[in-house]
Structures are given as C-alpha cells and as structure tokens.
Amino acid sequence: MARSNGRQLDYRVNWSGVEKLSERDRIIVALDFSSEQEALACADRLQGIATYMKVGMQLYYAAGPQIVYALKERGFNVFVDLKVHDIPNTAKGAMQSLASLGADMVNVHVAGGKDMMTAAKEGLESGAAGQTKPLLIGVTQLTSSSQQMMNDEIGIEGTIVDCAQRYAQLAKAAGLDGVVASPLEVEAIKRSCGPTFKTVTPGVRPRGAELGDQKRVVTPAEAFAFGTDYIVVGRPITQASDPLKAMRAMVESIGG
Ligand SMILES: O=C(O)c1cc(=O)[nH]c(=O)n1[C@@H]1O[C@H](COP(=O)(O)O)[C@@H](O)[C@H]1O
C-alpha cells in the first residue's frame, strides 16, 4: 500500500525503501459518492489494489474533512479535488485551510489567472508550515468540454490542445506542479513544460465503456502511452457491479 511520505508525493515507502509509484499506483479512483459510508465501502473493497483516491466536491461537501482523514488512516494517497477558482486572497485562504488536511494533491482552475495561482501556492506553503506540501495542480480545460463548446459557448478561440498547452505554461510560470487535462493533450504539455511537470488526466474509459459526460476520452493504456503521470477514473470502477473486478481488469489492461 502506498503512503505519502517525505517530499516526493509520487513515491511510496515500503519495506525495501522508497519506490516510484508504478502505473497501477497512478490510477486515481474518483470516489464521487454522497456519503462517507458509501465512499469508504468502495475504498475498502479496493484495498490492496488501489493506491490513490480522489475526494471531489460531492463527497467533500457531504462528508467534510473527516473523509480525507479516514482515507489517509487506511493508507491511501488522497487527491482533494475542490477546483478552487476565486480572487487571489480567497484562493490563498482556501489553500491554507486545505494544507492542514494531509492531502497529497489539491487543485485550482488555471482560468483564475497567474496571481490567483501564485497566491494559492503561498497559502499552501504557509498552511503546510514545514510539513509535506501537497502537489498543486491546475485544471486546464475540463474533459467534458468539446472544441465546439470551448469556441462557441465560452468564446476561447483555437484548438483545445493549444489552450491546454497555454494554460499549462501559465500554471508552470506560477509555480504549480502540474495540470489536469485530457490524455490527448499530454504530449503537447510535456513538450512545452518539460517531463517533470505533472499531468493528471481524467476522461479515461475502458474500451466500450459508457462515456457519460466525458468528451475527450481515451483508454487507460492509451493514456499511459501518451506519457501521463496519473489517470483519474470514477464511474467505470465505482459504479461497476463489482468495483474490485473492474479495477483488476483496468490494472490488467495496463500490463499489471
Ligand atoms: O479535476 C478533475 O479531477 C477533473 C477534471 C476534468 O477536467 N474532468 C474530470 O472528469 N475531472 C474529475 O474526474 C472524475 C472523472 O470521473 P468519471 O467520469 O466518472 O471517470 C470526476 O470526479 C471529475 O470531477
């Protein structure tokens, strides 16, 4: 079981020392449930095979900080996905509060701008007060957005890849550790921001699975082949009749 340890949050400690997380450990399971009980039942079912859990708005607003502590106590790495997007001072305060939870990863919207991201980072650092600082990740374009929606509804011109790349460069300039994007944008992001700038990629579906509201979608194996650091998968695992079986099949599909 991976545990956040030391400064490098994409590593884990085991009996043989510090080890880089394997692809299987870099599957982040999105626990999009409306109660702590349901979320922990699912997490417990995945003990021993899953390493990273995500607590998003639905679960955090229902269960509060306690859900993060409960998952950490069980040994999971935890991504607290609250997608902060506000004026710099408020974003800084939000991150100060989040820093005390012991999360391994948190996020903000890049669309909040460079000052907001810099303030968020400052808040995280001051809130962590010398303890391990979670990875700070910026959301580029949501994986539920299509090119047409971005151009016609939001009014951002150009391709999604160009936009994600530009947002990633801005996030890097603000000192963030990486971005959320679709796996389809990973190559462009790594090319312009460097290999150590993290990519966290939802919009992942096993072949033949329901896409739901996701628009920019690839399979888990394709996502890792594009060079992503983490994939985020929710419904294909959490809503499966047997989440453990679905997780096992996903691990098998990426070679182990
Ligand atoms: O920040 C995120 O995690 C996120 C960003 C994004 O662009 N798209 C996206 O789907 N997510 C999250 O990733 C998860 C995907 O869940 P499924 O579509 O059920 O696999 C959800 O919890 C979303 O909130």
- Give tens-digit pLDDT for 53-104: 999 999 999 999 999 999 999 999 999 999 999 999 999 999 999 999 999 9
First to last CA, the chain: 15
Of 81, 104, 177, 229, the catalytic one is: 81
Q: Is 199 in the pocket of ligand 1 (CB under 6 A)?
A: no
Task: Enter the pTM of the model.
Answer: 0.93
* ipTM (interface pTM): 0.99
State whether residue 87 is helix, strand or coil.
coil
The closest-lying atom of ligand 1 relative to the alpha carbon of residue 214 is 18
Q: Please, are residues 51 and 249 in contact by the beta-carbon 8 Å criterion?
A: no
Could you give the domains of the chain?
23-255 (3.20.20.70)
Region label for 66, one of left (φ > 0), alpha (ψ between -120 and 50) or beta (otherwise) = alpha
| 130 vs 24: CA distance, rounded Å | 30
Q: What are phi and psi of 11, to 5 degrees?
A: -125, 165
Nearest Cα residue to atom 7 of ligand 1:
142
Q: What is the DSSP code (8-state) at residue 204? A: B
Closest ligand 1 atom to 107 CA: 1
Say what the pLDDT of residue 4 is.
37
Residue of 232, 239, 247 to mutate, ligand 1, most atoms within 8 A of C-beta: 232
Report the separation in Å between the CA atom of 90 and the middle of ligand 1, taken as the mean of its atom positions. Answer: 24
Question: 196: Cβ–Cβ under 8 A, 6 or more apart, which residues?
Answer: none
Residue among 79, 106, 143 whose CB has most ligand 1 atoms within 8 A, to mutate: 143
Number of residues assigned to the chain = 256
Q: Give yes or no: 83 in active site.
A: yes
Question: CA-to-CA distance for 47 and 49, rounded, in angstroms?
Answer: 6
For residue 177, the model assigns a pLDDT of 98
86 catalytic? Reply is: yes
Each residue of 22-42: pLDDT tens digit? 999 999 999 999 999 999 999
**CA-CA-CA-CA torsion sign (28, 33, 36, 41):** negative
Give the per-residue pLDDT at 132: 83
Residue range 114-169, pLDDT digits in tens: 999 999 999 999 999 888 899 999 999 999 999 999 999 999 999 999 999 999 99
211 touches ligand 1 (CB under 6 Å): no
Q: Which parts are annotated binding residues for substrate?
A: 32, 54, 81-90, 143, 205, 214, 234-235
Region 207-218: mean pLDDT is: 97
The two beta strands, 17-20 and 11-14, are: antiparallel
Which residues neighbour 106 within 8 Å (Cβ) at sequence distance 6 or greater?
Answer: 79, 80, 81, 82, 84, 95, 98, 124, 134, 135, 136, 137
Closest by alpha carbon to 157, among 113, 149, 111, 216?
149
Q: Is 172 a catalytic residue?
A: no
- CA 256 to CA 151: how far, in whole Å? 39
Q: What is the pLDDT of residue 20?
A: 67
